[in-house]
Structure 1
Amino acid sequence: MPKNLTLVVYKPDSQSTDEYMVYVNFAEYRKWKDGDTSIPLVDVVDSFSVYHTGQGTQGLQKTPSKQQLDTIFGTHKDVDVVQFILKNGKLQHGDIDANEYFTPTMNPTRGSSIVDVRGRGLSGI
């Protein structure tokens, strides 16, 4: 079963491809956005990490520099930036197959995972 992801995405300019994203807990975010300020921000966001992509939401997500955050948001404090994105960003949903993206498997075409340190090669195994 795919894991449900919810992002809040902020675009500083409608013509720009730059987007800043925060992963959120959908139910808690909805309550917080509707005005329930008793919910701690730590329950609303998945983490206080802000992600940036210059290619839209389908591009690679990178952590923006402090200078980028200062330029766009006027601060680089993670709490202030996250609150700004939550207030001014747009909600986006998505599904991701956890097995496809989060399993630490090696490429099976690489061959045997046996490491021979005795100098015989694989002939003696």
Structure 2
Amino acid sequence: MSQVSKVFYRGENDEFMVVIQSPEEYRRYKKDPSIPLIDVVDSFKVFVTRKSGTQGIIDEASRAMLENEFGTRKPDQAIEKILRDGEFQEQKYTYKSNYDSTNDTMGARVAH
């Protein structure tokens, strides 16, 4: 079981998301925004959700999207706004690989 912590920001036309390292670091940042972003975020990427809101398809936001929504092409400035004004969400999930065995009881099979 894994856990992912994210902060969502509802923009004018799109919803943006930043993945954070831990809820504790995010809470520290909210109290003290002088904490370096590198201590808070998992990466300096801003994602945009498509279809079905926070559970939908997630893509990396383009610089043009950042400029349209946040007035800057710099991801770190957009991230600061998302962390400041966004909504925290924590999600637990179980990772299942596409390569897991689907039927271990059948044993090895050989084509004849």
- Give the TM-score band, short-chain normalised: 0.7 to 0.9
Summarize deviations over 1:53-101 as a string: whole Å, max 9, x none: 132011110012211111001011011111111011010111121x31x
Cα distance in 1 for residues equivalent to 2:86 and 2:99? 35
Q: State the Cα RMSD in Å.
A: 2.3
- Over alpha carbons, which structure has the higher Rg? 1
Could you list the structure 1 runs, at least 4 aligned residues long, displaced by more than 2 angstroms after superposition.
106-109
Whether 1:105 and 2:99 are equivalent positions in the alignment is: yes
Cα distance in 1 for residues equivalent to 2:63 and 2:10? 17
Which aligned pairs between 1:34-45 and structure 2 lie closer than 5 A? Answer: 34-35=31-32, 37=34, 39-45=35-41
Whether 1:85 and 2:86 are equivalent positions in the alignment is: no
- Give percent identity, aligned residues only: 34
SS at match of 1:92: strand
Could you tell me the TM-score, scaled by structure 1's length? Answer: 0.73
Structure 1, unmatched stretches of 5+, are: 110-121
Structure 2, unmatched stretches of 5+, are: 104-110
Cα distance in 1 for residues equivalent to 2:65 and 2:36? 26
Number of aligned residues = 105
